[in-house]
Amino acid sequence: MPADFRFWPVFASRPFCVHRAKGCNWVFKSDAIDCSSKCNYAFREFGQPLAIVEIKKPSTPLMFSSTYRNEQVYGPHSHLSGAVTQVLYQQSALRNNWLYHQSQFRESKPDVIKCFVIAGATPSGEEQRRCFHIFRHACKDVEVVTFDELLAKLKLLLEHLKPLPPKRLIRRDWDKVFR
């Protein structure tokens, strides 16, 4: 496995990272759902829906660095548009070949197959960031999540899971408790 892809198995062993991508719980079901050596993952939501997750590198470029026709419009980088196309292709292949995959996803149905791409970092330039948000919100069937957004969600979860400091009880609080 190339050095750039060695971190991918972390997502299979720690699916809570992917849970935070959309804020729901998923059960890891399989990698390489298209029967190739691609490192895509299939997850089953608690219930019937399935999810196809394409994980790129944190350094994956999301937008081209040069503008398209004017000074304000940046197009999606081929790594991002390719990843979006790949999960949509796999969604279609999974639906078309459902009988082949049915034993692997016993309690699921091909009716709802969610697609996620986890890639890159939110562009720092204002216009590139704006164009990125326009592009990803236009992808109605694919949720695009950046690594910095995923990290922020994990940090927020960690913050909420920290134990609260012990509350100091003062004398009048004790009186209320024992009345």
Say if residue 23's pLDDT is above 70. no
* Residue ranges of domains in the chain: 3-177
Q: Mind listing the pLDDT tens digit for each residue in 131-169?
A: 999 999 999 999 999 999 989 988 887 887 887 777 665
Say if residue 32's pLDDT is above 50. no
Say if residue 112's pLDDT is above 70. yes
Model confidence, pTM = 0.68
Q: Mind listing the pLDDT tens digit for each residue in 33-73?
A: 444 434 455 555 555 567 788 889 999 999 999 999 888 99
Q: How buried is 23 (Cβ within 10 angstroms: 0-12 exposed, 13-18 middle, 19+ buried)?
A: exposed
Q: Cβ contacts of residue 101 below 8 Å, gap of 6+?
A: 33, 94
Please give the pLDDT value at position 123: 97
Say if residue 129's pLDDT is above 90. yes
Among the listed ranges 9-13, 92-96, 113-117, 164-168, which one has the minimum average pLDDT value? 9-13
- Mean pLDDT is highest, among 9-23, 50-64, 100-114, 131-145, for 131-145
Please give the pLDDT value at position 54: 87
Token pair 């809570």 is found at 16
Residues pairing with 55 in the sheet: 118
> What is d(CA 74, CA 77) in angstroms, rounded to the nearest whole number?
9
Please give the pLDDT value at position 7: 52
Q: Cβ contacts of residue 163 below 8 Å, gap of 6+?
A: none
Decide which of 94 and 146 is more confident. Answer: 146
Please give the pLDDT value at position 69: 86
Phi and psi for 46 in degrees, rounded to 5? -60, 110
